[in-house]
C-alpha cells in the first residue's frame, strides 16, 4: 500500500481514494459496523453520465478500521446485464443501498431504491448475503404495503427490530415501516410522516433513547436546506426542529445532501453526518461530505470543517 494515497484525515469534498489509489464509488451510501470493521456501501457510479444519470453498475463495498483508510471489497451486488427485464439491469436506477445485520438469521440484509430511468417504478429492492463483503443475492423488489418507495434508509434499533424509512406518495410523505423479524419484508405496521412536506434522503439515528431524523428537501441533484426532527417513538409523532447545519452554506447543507448518520463505535454521542455533493454532469465525481455531528441539549449541530479526524471527538 502506498501511504501517500491514504488520507490521514477526513477532508470533506476532496477526491477520496481507496487503498489502491482509485476513486471511491459509494454514493448515497451507508455504513455497517461489524466485528471491528466499518463497511461502507454505496452506489457505484463509475460510468458515463448522460441526462443526469449513470447506468446501474452495482453496489460497492469498502472496509475500514479507522474511517479514512478504505479497502475496496468490490461490487457486492452487481448489475445484471443479460436480462433487460431485471431490476438490476443497467437501464434501471439503483440508489441509496443500506445494509443491516440480522443477529438471528446471521444474514446481511441490503435494501435499496430500485427504479426505472423515469423514476415511475418507485420500489424497494432487497438482497441478502452470508458475508458483509458479499456476494449479495438479489431477492426482488416491491412497493411496501402498496406504497411508492424512493429515497430510503434502514434503521436497526437496540431491541433488534428494524425499520424501512422511505419517501413515498410522490415523495410528499415519509413512511416508516417495521420490518419482518428476518428483515426481508415489510410488516403491515407503518406510519405516514411529514405529510405533504416533500422530504427526501432520510438519515435516522438514536441518541440517549430519542430518535432523530435528518432529511433533505426535494430538488433532485441540487442541494437544499436540511431539516431534522425528533421523536420518542420511531413510528412518530415527529417534532420538526429545524436546520441541523450552522455557519456559511448551512442553507445548502454545505452544497450536499445527507445520506446517513454514522455512530462512532466506542464514543458515545459521536456521530458522522454523511452527505453527497452531487455532480449531475459527472456523477462518478460526486464528492463525499462527512462532518462531525454533535447533540447538545437535544439539539443537533453540524458545522463545516476543512479537514478533521476522529480525535475531534476526544472530549
- List residues binding ligand GAL (CB under 6 A): 28, 95-96, 151, 200-201, 220-221, 257
Residue with cell 413510528: 235
Tell the smallest beta-carbon distance from residue 221 to ligand GAL (Å). 5
Tell the smallest beta-carbon distance from residue 96 to ligand GAL (Å). 6
Q: Which grid cell is 158?
A: 437496540
Strand partners of residue 230: 212, 239
Residue 127 CA to residue 113 CA, distance in Å, equals 12
Angstrom CA distances, 172 to 28, 160, 169, 226, 241, stand at 20, 29, 6, 16, 19
Measured from the CB atom, the residue of 61 and 112 that comes closer to ligand GAL is: 112
Tell the smallest beta-carbon distance from residue 201 to ligand GAL (Å). 5
CA angle 66, 279, 16 (to 5 degrees): 20
Residue 153 CA to residue 164 CA, distance in Å, equals 6
Residue closest to ligand GAL, measured at CB = 220
Tell the smallest beta-carbon distance from residue 118 to ligand GAL (Å). 11
Q: Choose among 5, 95, 7, 6: nearest CA to 45.
A: 95
Residue with cell 456559511: 248
Tell the smallest beta-carbon distance from residue 209 to ligand GAL (Å). 29
Angstrom CA distances, 271 to 107, 155, 201, 274, 295, stand at 25, 15, 17, 9, 9
Q: Which grid cell is 140?
A: 426482488
Tell the smallest beta-carbon distance from residue 289 to ligand GAL (Å). 14
Measured from the CB atom, the residue of 73 and 151 that comes closer to ligand GAL is: 151
Amino acid at each position: 500500500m502506498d501511504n501517500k494515497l491514504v488520507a490521514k484525515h477526513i477532508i470533506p469534498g476532496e477526491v477520496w481514494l481507496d487503498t489502491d489509489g482509485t476513486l471511491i464509488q459509494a454514493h448515497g451510501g451507508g455504513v455497517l459496523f461489524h466485528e471491528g470493521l466499518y463497511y461502507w456501501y454505496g452506489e457505484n457510479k463509475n460510468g458515463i453520465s448522460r441526462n443526469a444519470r449513470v447506468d446501474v453498475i452495482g453496489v460497492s463495498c469498502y472496509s475500514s478500521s479507522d474511517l479514512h483508510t478504505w479497502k475496496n471489497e468490490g461490487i457486492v451486488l452487481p448489475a445484471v446485464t443479460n436480462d433487460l427485464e431485471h431490476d438490476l439491469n443497467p437501464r434501471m436506477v439503483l440508489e441509496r443501498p443500506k445494509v443491516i445485520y440480522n443477529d438471528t438469521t446471521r444474514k446481511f440484509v441490503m435494501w435499496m431504491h430500485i427504479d426505472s430511468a423515469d423514476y415511475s417504478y418507485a420500489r424497494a429492492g432487497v438482497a441478502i448475503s452470508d458475508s458483509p463483503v458479499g456476494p449479495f443475492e438479489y431477492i426482488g423488489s416491491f412497493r411496501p404495503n402498496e406504497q411508492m418507495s424512493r429515497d430510503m434508509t434502514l434503521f436497526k434499533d437496540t431491541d433488534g427490530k428494524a425499520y424501512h424509512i422511505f419517501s413515498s406518495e410522490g415523495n410528499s410523505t415519509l413512511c416508516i415501516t417495521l420490518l419482518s423479524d428476518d428483515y426481508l419484508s415489510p410488516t403491515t405496521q407503518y406510519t405516514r410522516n411529514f405529510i405533504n412536506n416533500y422530504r427526501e434522503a432520510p438519515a435516522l439515528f438514536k441518541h440517549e433513547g430519542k430518535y432523530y431524523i435528518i432529511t433533505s428537501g426535494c430538488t433532485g441533484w441540487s442541494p437544499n436546506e436540511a431539516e431534522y426532527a425528533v421523536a420518542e417513538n420511531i413510528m412518530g409523532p415527529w417534532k420538526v426542529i429545524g436546520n441541523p447545519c450552522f455557519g456559511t452554506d448551512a442553507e445548502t447543507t454545505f452544497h450536499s445532501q445527507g445520506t446517513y448518520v454514522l455512530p462512532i463505535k466506542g464514543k458515545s454521542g459521536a456521530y458522522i453526518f454523511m452527505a453527497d455533493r452531487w455532480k449531475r454532469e459527472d456523477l462518478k465525481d460526486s464528492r463525499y461530505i462527512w462532518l462531525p455531528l454533535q447533540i447538545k441539549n437535544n439539539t443537533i449541530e453540524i458545522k463545516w470543517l476543512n479537514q478533521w479526524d476522529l480525535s475531534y471527538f476526544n472530549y
